Amino acid sequence: MLRESPRWLISKGRLDEADRIIEEIEASTDKRMPVAKQVSSSTEKGDWKELFSTFYRKRTLIVWG
């Protein structure tokens, strides 16, 4: 029942679907934040070791726990 992630949709070039989901989310709240639409043309894949980098280590362990 969960919608696809707008970030994932954008990375796959499915901009209309991502925009529609973002609009639904914005409509469901009183707070509005400006969103910059920037699509990265990079298709670079991350390395699994990145999950244990200083930036992601705590998050990775919490999610895995």
Q: Where are the domains of the chain?
A: 1-40
pLDDT digits (tens, 9 = 90+) for 8-65: 999 999 999 999 999 988 888 877 666 665 555 556 677 888 888 998 899 999 998 9
pLDDT at 49: 87
pLDDT of residue 34: 66
- The kind and range of the H/E element at 14 are none
pTM of model > 0.85: no
Burial label, 18 (beta-carbon count in 10 A; 0-12, 13-18, 19+) = buried
What do you get for the CA distance between the two ends of the chain, in Å?
24
